[in-house]
Amino acid sequence: MDAKPARPGYHHGDLRATLVAAALEMLEAGEPFSLRALARRAGVSTAAPYRHFADREELESALAVHGLRELMSDLAPGEPRPASAAELGEFAVGYVRFALRRPALFRLMFGQACDDRNDERVRASAALHDLLEGIMAEVFPASDPVVLATAGWSLAHGLAFLHLDGKLSSADPAAVDERVRSAVAAVFPPSSSP
């Protein structure tokens, strides 16, 4: 069942990366992970992970950073950012799709207060923030981009969580996409600069 990489020597070589990868795999598979399970999977004692992460929270922060970066590159694949209100809908669709594709990771990224002591995580979080505000400023040049970014992000975020938590059905992916599109369209009407 478990891949035991039969590490050659006493030292593992790259335990830290291995643990992160294993954790992502387990989350992907829908299993909740424990540090002990990760250690087992890496073929290492249960105490070893603590050489690389002070505690569970620090590992989770590493995972969150990974997730934030992935989300960013998902949403901003190059430079063609949304330029019209219509394209905003597709942006939101991307956000919600990410949440549904990686539910556990998404919860890790957003379902708890960000550990402020973790610079990398703080920066990754701020980067997402900035991306959103930048886009809103482009799409609605006449308006307050901070307020609109807050509204837009909240809308997408709310849609993501309500689907994730079963408050809105996510059984049919196409229906989800459509629900997101129409919600965004209802609220950011095409061709209006509020």
Judged by the rule CB under 7 A, the positions of this chain that interact with DNA are: 9-13, 15, 33-37, 39, 44-48, 50-52, 54-57
Residue 81 buriedness (CB in 10 A; 0-12 / 13-18 / 19+): middle
Within residues 145-184, the interface with a copy of itself by CB under 8 A covers 147-148, 150-151, 153-159, 161-162, 165-168, 179, 182-184
Question: x/- binding map, residues 51-90, to a copy of itself, per CB under 8 A?
Answer: ----------------------------------------
Query: From DNA, a copy of itself, none, which one binds at residue 162 (CB under 5 to 8 Å depending on kind)?
Result: a copy of itself
Token couple for 35: 């540090």
Q: Which is nearer to DNA, 59 or 96 (CB)?
A: 59
**Could you count the other beta carbons within 10 Å of the beta carbon of residue 144?**
12
Residue 54 buriedness (CB in 10 A; 0-12 / 13-18 / 19+): exposed
Instruction: Locate all alpha helices (DSSP H) within 12-84, ordered by sequence.
Output: 15-28, 35-42, 56-75
Residues near a copy of itself (CB under 8 A) are: 107, 110-114, 125, 129, 143-144, 147-148, 150-151, 153-159, 161-162, 165-168, 179, 182-184, 186-189, 194
